[in-house]
A and B are shown apart, each in its own frame.
Chain A
């Protein structure tokens, strides 16, 4: 009889423990958006301590079981994994929930390079990171518009859909030199950080169709280029080196001249029959034979 009572008591205790454990249960919502807040439901009676632990949030709150626990928008602004814990009568139970980022609102924009030659293929790269207003990376696809423009010329635009918060593209530099405005923006978003501007300085590329003429000046000859321009017609910047080389029977002499007001100029010794060549960087120009041009 004693044994029977003992077994009965044990079973009753286990049943009560199971009931008590079951009594304080949490029910968490499946879909939650950052900054929107949510409600956690509890079952059971009496009081308990509720904890919410997230990436940038830790809450501790005394609650009454059986009622809802309201989490304000400010208390769950960070996207990621949260754990809700209920502590009641020395027993705790926990459940995980996920908070998703809110809608796209901000961009972080990396543009490279800061200075580039005109008309270069895939020379400019832009990477945009899409965030919501709480700085969570928006993992859902979102359109990002990239636009490159030089004042007075039509912009070049391209829209790229972000993948896990990142949109990136390569773009040719345009044909016109000057400060190019490189803008990444979120269509439909209106905040100050929904559109980010960077400046890419576009400069003339290598000289194109380099041409010089020569004119005698006493015992020397003056060689002067036509205005030096790149293949898009942009003047090559002043200060760029142009090399004149004179070759005759006694050897070779070289003069490096800087472009000044679009032209480069140098004075070479007059040596009948000598050949003069002109070059700028890797670009070769025409050749003149003194005493007769070629």
Chain B
């Protein structure tokens, strides 16, 4: 009987620590996996350095957005987003806070396909196929949970020393 009690306690302990570690991972996403194809880009060919920069900056943008929508506080959004995209995320954060909600993401990665790269090299349009686990929470109660493949049409433009997301628009398909 004692053995059984110990076994149960160990199991409960493992479950709790595992749950806690999952919570931490979800609230502080590590580097987000982004793959990028450039074969369909035009009229300008995507340079290797640009491809590297886009992957780095798009990953950072999602990380900032996911952290911000979880905490309802701007977590470096201005460094990754600009224009309409930045305004939309801010609006959503304000309204989430007002409604007592927050959103938690587990990001399973993004497949980017560059479909337009402007002739002078300052703007790029991308198709993003994202694998996401999304939880909508009312305080700590999960209201809605889904494991989804989502499509985004993204516009990125050069700003200062990096590429910033200017438009992040969900689409039903490409």
Contact = CB atoms under 8 A, between A and B. Distances in A.
Contacts of B43: 168
Contacts of B68: none
A80 B169 contact: yes
Chain A binding site: helix, strand, loop or mixed by DSSP? strand
A121 interface: no
Interface stretch (B3-11, B20-28, B53-61, B86-94): B86-94
Contact of A53 (B119, B136, B153, B169): B136
Contacts of B116: 163-164, 166, 168
A92 B143 contact: yes
Contacts of B92: 54-58
Contacts of A53: 101, 103, 136
Interface stretch (B31-39, B104-112, B120-128): B120-128
Interface residues of B, number: 37
Given A51-B143, A139-B153, A168-B43, A98 B122 contact: no
B96 interface: yes
Contacts of B96: 58
B146 A94 contact: yes
Contacts, number: 100
Contact of B169 (A57, A58, A79): A79
Given A127-B118, A166-B125, A170-B119, A60 B101 contact: yes
A85 B136 contact: yes
A60 B100 contact: yes
A165 B119 contact: no
B78 interface: no
13 contacts: A56-B87, A56-B88, A58-B95, A58-B99, A59-B95, A59-B99, A60-B101, A85-B136, A98-B170, A110-B120, A110-B122, A129-B123, A168-B116
Interface of B: 43, 84, 87-89, 91-92, 95-96, 98-101, 103, 115-116, 118-120, 122-123, 125, 136, 138, 143-144, 146, 148, 150, 153, 155, 167-172
Given A51-B143, A81-B172, A168-B118, 20 more contacts: A54-B92, A56-B91, A58-B98, A60-B99, A78-B88, A80-B170, A83-B144, A85-B144, A87-B143, A94-B143, A94-B144, A96-B148, A110-B118, A112-B119, A125-B120, A127-B123, A129-B123, A129-B155, A163-B116, A166-B125
